[in-house]
Amino acid sequence: MSLSLKIRLRPVRFAFIVRPENRAKLAEVFRVTTCLWGGKYNPIVPFFKKVPDWWDRRGHRFENAKQIVDGYLDFFEPDILVETEKGIANSFGFDEQRVIQLSDVLERQGDGEDRGYGLSVVDVYRELYQKEFQFVHRKKPKIVNVKAKKNPFNLFGSCVFGAFPTTTTLEYFEQNYRDVFDPENINLTPKSFLSLYKTGCVTPLRIGQMNIRVRYHEHSDLTLFVLDADEPRDLIDYWNLRATHRQVLPIPVQWLKILSPYCKSVINKNYRPLPGNPHRVMIRTTVMFSRSIPESEIDPLFRKHVAPDDVNAVVIQTWYPPIWRTTPDFSARTTRPTLETSEKSLSLNPDPKNKAIRFGTLSPEFCNRFGGEFRWANVINLSDWSAGDEIATTFPCNYRNPQFPPFGMALQSVLPTTEGLVLLSKYVSSDEYWELIDGTNAINSWFKANKISATLSDGGRPTQQIIQTLGGFWGVTRIAHPEIVKLLNQMSRRPISRSMQQAEFKNRVNNAVANDRWRRKVFETLVERKVVALGLELRCTKCASWSWYSVDQLDYVLKCELCLKDFDFPITSPTETSKARWAYRVIGPFSLPDFARGGYAAALAIRFFADVLGGANRASTTWSSGQELELPSGKKSEADFILWHQRKQLLGIDYPTEIVFGEAKSFGKEAFGKDDIERMRLLADTFPGAVLVFATMKQAEDLSQTEIDLIGGLAKWGREYNRNRSQIRAPVILLTGTELFAAHSLDETWREKGGKHAIFVENAMHPIEVLTNLADCTQQLYLGMPSYGQWLNDKWKKRSIRRASKAKTSGDKE
């Protein structure tokens, strides 16, 4: 067993939830974040019970207030939620231990054992003093402390440059800053503001980023954000925009006339060819106007104060990026940046019996040995490189109140997130001891945490044994051929012996996969992985019937399996095929009839998601074979396989984990029935948004019209939009033999298939490895349904016609 761990150290991520109109609390948030290591990247979540009119300048309401707040939280996935008012976060399902008050974040003088949360910038100041600032500099860096004498710009200055708390018990932060850096006091005016931009001075907020490497995952050009400096909601928008975008310069609309020459100069300077691009793509500046600026004023302000001579050098943006909304697949994905101070990679070989690992965590080199709670975070990415594919490495993303995964003696709770498994640490260089579990036990534990009783089904056992016997999905690939599974099933149905002569078996296997570059040494794999066992078929001298005996059963005297009488081994003529012949016999789960009781189809379906669809590190999958479920409602259901499927993002934050329930069938006629549909619908009701998969080894043309109608009805139901969850009810995927027997990637399989399959690959606007897109494609290919876009468009047209008809009827009555 071979595991790899990648451990990344970063600051704790706080999310401050505040009402946009509460200026006093927002000012306190700016002061608190200035005193935290990495505070600049802590999001501020606007809270309201009703979506305000200013939220969208065109009056659109795509989400309600709770959905917007939930969207902010899901985008940033905070480690700790900070309330600016007691109880303001009660409805968002956070673990109570990770919901704190604004007044509790920082350590106050005289608090004794109560030492706050996160890592204080005082530790940063101490490190910088010891390494740099206690010595005389030949050229001293310009470090400033910016304050606005005019009250309307106090909040703006705190947001842009940082500010220190003014309460007596927290005055030591500013005092330490002054003692270490001897900063220059700057009065915030348009002139000083411009000077600070041009000279790149070091501010309190900037100094709190020490030793943090920031990897942005968006590639937007420079943005000038024109905002009302006295409007709290604009400052919240700027704060979050700066936390996610590489280059954002705030331009107060109050100073726009004075800053106009600078804005035009920046735009002209930034307008240049993109380096290395042969198509003369130009880098342009985006001018974004905040939501508080009336739309009618935007164009006059732009033309008068911002517009450069070359209009191609700039892009006007009148809308604020909806980071609270999931990015659609057809556009570039927006994510928060990845923060990192240090990292290390470990290769571990845990004991196959207890599957336990021990590893050391990372801690900042400059921190005190002792401090408050949740001082920094370790992000752990776990990968299983062994052939068994059994260890659970992917988990449902639940950063709010995780009751799972339980890694045995883990010192802290583990938060499963899109960036990895997050450990909130308190102690310097602590060791962790994790007891890992396989996918079936992991998924069963998750069911238990959700008050669902789960037991391995009769059909689930063969599936699990097939995958384990073959050594994981690499071995399952060797039986991913219709002739191979039919051959094994044929042998399992033979009376008594369930065997086939050695030469015939070898020839049939090799002929089935001849000239297939993706399937090599299939025969050797079946023998070496003990799918079949070698033995002798011997003819009984008493009743003339044939019986099969394994190598270790052979003896000079044998008992006939039919007549139960003893007979002698043909020692004088062991090579006569009329008396003895070498043969292979299917054993273990492969000896079960009816395609290993459906185990082949389920194993191939799991392998499809783990290997064919998620190959080349594009996805990670934790799997369980068939489970019988008793739901909280008391109703019972069943699934032939269950997956946690997570798409990977190269050099970025992964996608949220999706829950997949599957129903698998072999080659039977009318295999999918009403009971299967009802069970899957029940699972979709219990797990909203779950992906439902119907997998069969039959080809599409062998599906009956009844099966198509039943699955199509469920697929149409699953397409309906769940407004409360901002997603469709349940994507329904239909997999046929084309997909289950794919030798390599799905793209290549469909391309070789030709016809409509090839068209989907060549003309696909959306990647087919996205499960919702795969559902849309297979519904069109195999169920005769229109595309989701066309179906939705037709639905809107019918709704418009009904509304127009209803309006006409009402008008006629009047």
Mapped onto helix, strand or coil, the DSSP state of residue 349 is coil
Joined together, the tokens standing for residue 242 give 């700066």
pLDDT band at 136 (very low <50, low <70, confident <90, very high): low
Bridge partners, residue 187, by sequence: 147
296-304 mean pLDDT: 95
Between residues 649 and 524, which one has the greater pLDDT? 524
pLDDT digits (tens, 9 = 90+) for 646-696: 998 877 899 999 999 999 999 988 899 999 999 999 999 999 999 999 999
pLDDT digits (tens, 9 = 90+) for 138-193: 677 889 999 987 778 999 999 999 999 999 999 999 999 999 999 999 999 999 99
pLDDT band at 524 (very low <50, low <70, confident <90, very high): very high
User: Under a CB-based contact definition with an 8 Å cutoff, are residues 613 and 774 in contact?
Assistant: yes
pLDDT digits (tens, 9 = 90+) for 31-74: 999 999 999 999 999 999 999 999 988 888 888 999 999 999 99
C-alpha 795/C-alpha 776 separation (Å) is: 16
What is the predicted pLDDT for the residue at 339?
95
Alpha carbon of residue 77 to chain centroid: 12
What is the predicted pLDDT for the residue at 458?
87
What is the predicted pLDDT for the residue at 284?
93
Please provide residue 340's backbone torsions phi and psi, each rounded to the nearest 5 degrees: -155, 135
What is the predicted pLDDT for the residue at 206?
93
What is the predicted pLDDT for the residue at 615?
63
pLDDT digits (tens, 9 = 90+) for 78-104: 999 999 999 999 999 999 999 999 999
CA distances from 460 to 391, 464, 498, 589, 625 (A): 17, 6, 23, 11, 5
Helix axes 460-469, 599-607, angle to 10 degrees: 60
pTM to 2 decimal places: 0.91
What radius of gyration do the chain's Cα atoms show? 33
What is the predicted pLDDT for the residue at 781?
95
Proportion of the chain above pLDDT 90, given as a percent? 67
User: Under a CB-based contact definition with an 8 Å cutoff, are residues 722 and 730 in contact?
Assistant: no
364-372 mean pLDDT: 83
pLDDT of 316 over the 60 cut: yes
pLDDT band at 577 (very low <50, low <70, confident <90, very high): confident
pLDDT digits (tens, 9 = 90+) for 761-804: 887 667 888 999 999 999 999 999 999 989 999 998 888 888 88
pLDDT of 813 over the 60 cut: no
302-326 mean pLDDT: 92
Most confident of 202-211, 306-315, 575-584, 689-698: 689-698
Between residues 755 and 61, which one has the greater pLDDT? 755
Q: Which of these, 687, 647, 643, lies nearest to 664 by C-alpha position?
A: 643
What is the predicted pLDDT for the residue at 533?
94
Bridge partners, residue 420, by sequence: 417
pLDDT of 407 over the 80 cut: no
pLDDT digits (tens, 9 = 90+) for 243-282: 999 899 999 999 999 999 999 999 999 999 888 878 788 8
pLDDT of 387 over the 60 cut: no
What is the predicted pLDDT for the residue at 426?
84
CA distances from 336 to 10, 53, 237, 289 (A): 14, 27, 14, 21
549: Cβ contacts below 8 Å, ≥ 6 apart: 535, 536, 537, 538, 558
pLDDT digits (tens, 9 = 90+) for 188-236: 999 999 998 888 789 999 999 988 999 998 888 899 999 999 999 999 9
User: What's the one-letter identity of residue 286?
Assistant: T
527-545 mean pLDDT: 92
User: Under a CB-based contact definition with an 8 Å cutoff, are residues 399 and 151 in contact?
Assistant: no
**Enclosing H/E stretch for 587:** none
pLDDT of 112 over the 70 cut: no
Name all contacts of 185-192 with Cβ < 8 Å and 24+ positions apart: 185/144, 185/145, 185/147, 186/144, 186/145, 186/146, 186/147, 187/147, 187/148, 187/149, 188/146, 188/147, 188/148, 188/149, 188/150, 188/153, 188/156, 188/157, 188/161, 190/255, 190/258, 190/259, 191/258, 192/146
| Least trusted range by pLDDT, from 321-325, 374-378, 491-495 | 491-495
What is the predicted pLDDT for the residue at 137?
66
Mean pLDDT of the chain: 90
